[in-house]
């Protein structure tokens, strides 16, 4: 299963050449991951308040394939590909009219209040399990 999140490119997202500045793709996919997690019924604020757990990016492997430009309508596509208890791996892509512009594999770790890795609670894992592709 994949999740899709639409984004429009604003002037502030671009560089002097009028194309999306490379670091902004990381912002776009962050929003896509956050909305994907929210769509599963996982409240990250409650996760922190009730379990002392937060998500943190550990690794990003990215490929920039084609430029996006001012006013483009993009779609961030997110798919959960692995869940190892304290770690989630997601494949993400930014597309424009079905054309792949950017791809990334992102590893997210679950951290406890002290900053050490911590397993996700069983109720959260149950929400994620059917989403593995």
| Continuous H helices in 1-113 | 24-39, 44-51
C-alpha 79/C-alpha 36 separation (Å) is: 8
Q: Are 69 and 18 in contact (CB under 8 A)?
A: yes
Among the options 13, 15, 72, 83, which is catalytic? 15
C-alpha 54/C-alpha 2 separation (Å) is: 23
Q: Give the strand pairing for 3-8 and 54-64.
A: unpaired
DSSP assignment letter at 20:
B
Q: Are 82 and 58 in contact (CB under 8 A)?
A: no
Active site annotation includes 15? yes
| Active site amino acids | 15
């Amino acid at each position: 299963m994949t999740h899709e999140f639409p984004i429009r490119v604003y002037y502030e997202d671009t560089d002097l050449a009028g194309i999306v500045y490379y670091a902004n793709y990381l912002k776009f996919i962050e929003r896509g991951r956050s909305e994907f997690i929210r769509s599963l019924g996982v409240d990250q604020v409650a996760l922190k308040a009730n379990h002392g757990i937060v998500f943190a990016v550990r690794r990003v492997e990215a490929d920039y394939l084609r430029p996006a430009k001012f006013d483009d309508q993009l779609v961030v596509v997110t798919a959960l590909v692995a869940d190892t208890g304290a770690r989630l791996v997601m494949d993400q892509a930014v597309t424009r009219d079905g054309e792949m512009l950017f791809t990334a594999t992102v590893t997210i770790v679950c951290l406890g209040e002290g900053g050490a890795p911590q397993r996700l609670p069983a109720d959260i894992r149950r929400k994620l399990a059917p989403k593995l592709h």
